Amino acid sequence: LTGSGKSSFIKDATGNHKVRICHTLDSCTADVEYFSADITTRNGVRQFALIDTPGFDDSKKDDVQVLEEIANGLAILYQQGIKLSAVVYLHRISDNKVAGSAVRSLKVLKEILGPNACDITWLTTSHWSETSLEKGIEREEQLKGDGDKWGSLISQGAKTFRLQDTHTLIAARNLLRQISNDSPYPRALAIQEEM
């Protein structure tokens, strides 16, 4: 979703100050953009390719346009023989409710992944500094336990991660290390195989 912290995560993970972060009411990421990060893991330095995408609930594009852009970006990777090691889905833990746009984006995520890519998915919460730890944990448990939200993805192998705000650079790189350690073999997503 727009405003969940996708671009901030990529900026922190890559250390690239050219990643645009907006602090306005309008969406900032207009197109699919590619970045790389070299992260030290337990197996040495590993290069990650990170893809920043417009978010659903964008202020300038409808969800169909956003989905088309994401699908086209993924199709380009697939045509080049590049498979994904992980999909990171970001959710603002500070939100009081899961809005309709968030429910729709989860439904679209499930369709993009298909049944064979749930285990490379990382359901990641952001904006922890904007709520109490107690409330955040309560909301996180609700997300995990509800099949219409994260529950069905978790039952198919998706993992969760807290992107704590206090040390965002460290947290972003720790997520990439976790992905490096825990993700199974790279694979194509359902939407890539269908295009």
CATH code (residue 36):
3.40.50.300
**What total of structural domains would you count in the chain?**
1
Percent of the chain past pLDDT 70, that is, above it, reads 90
Q: Is 28 a residue whose pLDDT tops 70?
A: no
pTM: 0.87
> pLDDT value at position 184?
72
Tokens of 191: 């939407």
Q: What is the largest CA-CA distance in the chain?
A: 45
**How would residue 93 be classed by pLDDT, with cut points 50, 70 and 90?**
very high
* Mean pLDDT across the chain: 85
Structure tokens at 146: 């509800």
**Within-domain flag for 144:** yes
Which pLDDT score, from 0 to 100, does residue 123 have? 96
CA nearest neighbour of 100 among 147, 149, 135 = 149
Is a pLDDT exceeding 70 seen at residue 118? yes
In this structure, is residue 28 part of a structural domain? yes
Q: Tell me whether residue 51 is in a domain.
A: yes
24 within some domain: yes
Amino acid at 188: A
Domain region containing 41: 6-194
